[in-house]
A and B are shown apart, each in its own frame.
Chain A
Amino acid sequence: MSAAPVIELAGLTKAYNLGTPVETEVLHGIDLSLAEGEFAALIGPSGSGKSTLLNIIGLLERPTGGRLSIGGRDTASLSEAEITQLRGRSIGFVFQFHHLLPAFTALENVMMPSIIARGRPDDEAEATALALLDAVGLKAHALKKPAELSGGQQQRVAIARALALRPRLILADEPTGNLDTHTADDIFALLREFNRQSNCACLIVTHDPRLAARCDRIVRLVDGRIADDLPTAAETNP
């Protein structure tokens, strides 16, 4: 694979309660890189550090040691404001419980990353958001509040929102965790489709081996270490 790496982790560690008697290291020297267009699953038992790793890659938390580059930029030297900006512009999040803003309509939720990045809503952002909602099959529900949508629909809105600024990296934390199998398949297919279309890198935390098997690559995390990192057989899915 010769595509440029979107994320690169080298010897990354994360410890909590640093310098206190209860200091615990949850990630021990993670080396990982994800290239453009790659679609990888991150699996592992509960407490293995998956969510922490995802938060660190998503720049929501800072690593204790090691190196993290996003799009070739070392993040260690960046200020809080630069980190926030980088997160907003190049990373799209899909959370387990959709995490839409209940006070805003589906359309406004999808526009929100652009509103934040540009300071105010504009026609272009609205057009993009409408197109994205159309792509996830929810154009008719654009003006509904999240509470008026079903779980699957909410998650579709969340995916549309994650894609709003055409990020280079999509991070999904059990995006299908609380959905029925049928809806979960739909959501997964949607992610996969966008991954192909926009060539962004995707890292998806999942507990579902069935879904993991449909990714390009499975990274298994056990006790804060990468136990194995293997391409799947079904790499060339139809």
Chain B
Amino acid sequence: MKFRLPFAPLVALRFLREGRMQTLLILAGTTGGVAVIVFLTQLITQLQAQIVDRVLGSQAHVVIRPAEEVNRRAIDDAGFASIVEPRAQRLRSIDQWENIARLAADMPGVTAVSPVVTGPAFAVRGQASKSVALMGVDAERYRRIVRMEEYMVAGRFAVEGTRAVIGSELAKDLGIRMDDKLRVALPNGRDELLQVGGIFDIGNRDLNRRWVFVTLPLAQSLLDLPGGVSNLDLTVADIFEAQPVADRLRGATSLNVESWMQTNAQLLAALRNQSVSNNLIRSFVVIIVALGIASVLVVSVVQKQKEIGILRAMGASRSMILQIFLIQGAVVGAVGSVLGSMLAFTLLNVFSAIYRNADGQPLFAAELEPRFIAMAALVATCVGLLSALIPARRAARMDPVQAIRS
């Protein structure tokens, strides 16, 4: 037995096939619209993810620091005029940081905690000296905050004894190669001779110039923070949940807790604005496509008046006629979404071949997430259905006698 389409789809498809030129135009419009939406969505999602990824590539999601020191007045009365000077924030350790680290690690959503001791220093070699940030870390734990091993251009990201890891810019500035010696001098008069065990390029010149990684105990003794840490870096499972996690930690510890979303508030605002304008463009495209489908179907209903009358005379109900035109809208939307997704895929391939990053890598990957295609198909079919509603109702209301006579 061969497959036979039911009445409404059968007539709908035949009508679409009969109005070849119209169908092609309306399909082209829908295809273009879907392609623009899918292409834009994919592009912007990827670029935004990349930007966020790049920003977070050298940053902890959440950083816990000691509470700031403030001056308190002994006499707490509004009746006294007083000048309160803000205090200079000296380098301090987080009080009982092991407990805080354990608390943070147990917090839902937190995947890694790394203690860091950081303070200012000078890197000196010969006559040259550069100001740097001394970073005392446990390499194993810090890797789960910043994926340092991915950025290594020489050696490994491992610190032990006096072996240190420095950035490529600092290495260049001081003319240092692997296994060369480097002296760090601190404002408190301490200094230490380090041996370079690894050079990284994190993709940010400033950090490449400033970061000098040493072991936690070495940094602690150089910075006069024996057993202490200046901050705890955290990684969270969902980067956009960083803020709530930070808020909860602040509540629990009353320490100074900052998420990357606060640190990069401007970037986030920019991304959000980009999403808003993207949504605006998408909405307009959807509306234009819907109007296109509706107008073509309105014309089609007028052209098919006689056929509608004949079908009604042969016993087709109003709802059957309604279905015929709704299906036409849905089919145009569905087929348009498939063609549009294919077009978007082609566009992504073309553009990813043309646009490349500074390092020659494609700016974005030429791939379509299935969920975008599914979303496009769903939206386009619904839009097709909705835009067919007015023409379809008009067709269904048509008086068969008038229709046949015309």
Indicate if the CB atoms of A87 and B7 lie closer than 8 Å: no
Q: Please, which residues of chain B bring their CB within 8 A of the CB of A99?
A: 306, 309-310, 313, 404
Q: Please, which residues of chain B bring their CB within 8 A of the CB of A102?
A: 18, 307
As a 0/1 sequence over residues 107 to 145 of chain A, the CB contacts with chain B under 8 angstroms (1 = contact) are 000001101110111110000000000000000000000
* B311 close to A (CB within 8 Å): yes
Instruction: Pick from B135-143, B233-241, B315-323 the stretch touching chain A.
Output: B315-323
Most chain A CB atoms below 10 A, which of B7, B307, B311? B7
Q: Please, which residues of chain A bring their CB within 8 A of the CB of B311?
A: 101, 112, 116
Q: Please, which residues of chain A bring their CB within 8 A of the CB of B15?
A: 103
Q: Which of B1, B4, B315 touches A87 (beta carbons < 8 Å)?
A: B315
Q: Which of A81, A116, A120 touches B314 (beta carbons < 8 Å)?
A: A116
* B153 close to A (CB within 8 Å): no
Indicate if the CB atoms of A80 and B1 lie closer than 8 Å: no
Smallest Cβ-Cβ distance to B15: which chain A residue: A103
Q: Please, which residues of chain A bring their CB within 8 A of the CB of B401?
A: 55, 60-61
* B400 close to A (CB within 8 Å): yes
As a 0/1 sequence over residues 4 to 36 of chain A, the CB contacts with chain B under 8 angstroms (1 = contact) are 000000000000000000000000000000000
Q: How far is A24 from B404 in the complex, measured between Cα atoms in Å?
A: 22
Most chain B CB atoms below 10 A, which of A55, A61, A116, A117? A116
* A194 close to B (CB within 8 Å): no
As a 0/1 sequence over residues 1 to 24 of chain B, the CB contacts with chain A under 8 angstroms (1 = contact) are 100111100100011011000000
Instruction: Pick from A37-45, A88-96, A197-205, A212-220 the stretch touching chain B.
Output: A88-96
* A178 close to B (CB within 8 Å): no
Indicate if the CB atoms of B404 and A120 lie closer than 8 Å: no
Q: How far is A24 from B18 in the complex, measured between Cα atoms in Å?
A: 40
* B61 close to A (CB within 8 Å): no
* B312 close to A (CB within 8 Å): yes
Q: How far is A93 from B307 in the complex, measured between Cα atoms in Å?
A: 14
Q: Please, which residues of chain A bring their CB within 8 A of the CB of B320?
A: 116
* A85 close to B (CB within 8 Å): yes
Smallest Cβ-Cβ distance to A95: which chain B residue: B404
Q: Please, which residues of chain A bring their CB within 8 A of the CB of B316?
A: 84, 88, 116
Most chain B CB atoms below 10 A, which of A95, A101, A121, A122? A101
Indicate if the CB atoms of B307 and A101 lie closer than 8 Å: yes
Q: Please, which residues of chain A bring their CB within 8 A of the CB of B400?
A: 60
Q: How far is A116 from B400 in the complex, measured between Cα atoms in Å?
A: 16
Q: Which of B7, B318, B404 touches A116 (beta carbons < 8 Å)?
A: B7
Q: Which of B1, B306, B313 touches A58 (beta carbons < 8 Å)?
A: B313
Given known A-B contacts A60-B400, A99-B404, A120-B4, A115 and B10 have beta carbons under 8 A apart = yes
Shortest C-beta distance, B30 to chain A (Å), equals: 22
Q: How far is A102 from B20 in the complex, measured between Cα atoms in Å?
A: 14
Q: How many chain B residues touch the partner (CB < 8 A)?
A: 26
Q: Please, which residues of chain B bring their CB within 8 A of the CB of A103?
A: 14-15, 17-18, 307
Most chain A CB atoms below 10 A, which of B7, B10, B313, B317? B313
Q: How far is A212 from B310 in the complex, measured between Cα atoms in Å?
A: 26
Q: How many chain A residues touch the partner (CB < 8 A)?
A: 30
Smallest Cβ-Cβ distance to B4: which chain A residue: A121
Smallest Cβ-Cβ distance to A61: which chain B residue: B401
Given known A-B contacts A103-B18, A104-B14, A84 and B312 have beta carbons under 8 A apart = yes
Given known A-B contacts A99-B404, A103-B17, A122-B4, A87 and B10 have beta carbons under 8 A apart = no
Indicate if the CB atoms of B315 and A115 lie closer than 8 Å: no
Smallest Cβ-Cβ distance to B400: which chain A residue: A60
Indicate if the CB atoms of A60 and B10 lie closer than 8 Å: no
Indicate if the CB atoms of A93 and B313 lie closer than 8 Å: yes
Indicate if the CB atoms of B315 and A88 lie closer than 8 Å: yes
Smallest Cβ-Cβ distance to A80: which chain B residue: B318
Q: Please, which residues of chain A bring their CB within 8 A of the CB of B4?
A: 120-122
Smallest Cβ-Cβ distance to B306: which chain A residue: A99
Indicate if the CB atoms of A87 and B14 lie closer than 8 Å: no
As a 0/1 sequence over residues 46 to 59 of chain A, the CB contacts with chain B under 8 angstroms (1 = contact) are 00000000010010
Q: How far is A95 from B405 in the complex, measured between Cα atoms in Å?
A: 10
Q: How far is A113 from B7 in the complex, measured between Cα atoms in Å?
A: 10
Q: Please, which residues of chain A bring their CB within 8 A of the CB of B307?
A: 101-103
Q: How far is A116 from B10 in the complex, measured between Cα atoms in Å?
A: 11
Smallest Cβ-Cβ distance to A125: which chain B residue: B4
Q: How far is A132 from B114 in the complex, measured between Cα atoms in Å?
A: 86
Contacting residues of chain B (1-58) with chain A, CB-CB under 8 angstroms: 1, 4-7, 10, 14-15, 17-18
Q: How far is A113 from B320 in the complex, measured between Cα atoms in Å?
A: 13
Indicate if the CB atoms of A119 and B310 lie closer than 8 Å: no
Q: Please, which residues of chain B bring their CB within 8 A of the CB of A84?
A: 312, 315-318
Q: Which of A100, A113, A119 touches B6 (beta carbons < 8 Å)?
A: A119
Q: Please, which residues of chain B bring their CB within 8 A of the CB of A104?
A: 14
As a 0/1 sequence over residues 385 to 400 of chain B, the CB contacts with chain A under 8 angstroms (1 = contact) are 0000000000000001
Contacting residues of chain B (316-362) with chain A, CB-CB under 8 angstroms: 316-318, 320
As a 0/1 sequence over residues 351 to 381 of chain B, the CB contacts with chain A under 8 angstroms (1 = contact) are 0000000000000000000000000000000
Indicate if the CB atoms of B7 and A119 lie closer than 8 Å: yes
Q: Please, which residues of chain B bring their CB within 8 A of the CB of A60?
A: 312-313, 400-401, 404
Q: Please, which residues of chain A bring their CB within 8 A of the CB of B314?
A: 87-88, 93, 112-113, 116, 161
Indicate if the CB atoms of B315 and A89 lie closer than 8 Å: yes
Binding site for A on B (CB under 8 A): 1, 4-7, 10, 14-15, 17-18, 306-307, 309-318, 320, 400-401, 404
A sample of 13 more A-B contacts (CB under 8 A), given A60-B400, A102-B307, A121-B10, is A60-B312, A61-B401, A81-B317, A87-B315, A88-B314, A89-B315, A112-B314, A116-B7, A117-B315, A119-B6, A120-B6, A121-B5, A123-B1
* 6 A–B contacts, CB within 8 A, in A order: A60-B313, A87-B313, A103-B14, A120-B4, A121-B4, A161-B314
Q: Closest 6 interchain pairs by CB?
A: A88-B315, A120-B6, A103-B18, A103-B14, A121-B4, A113-B314
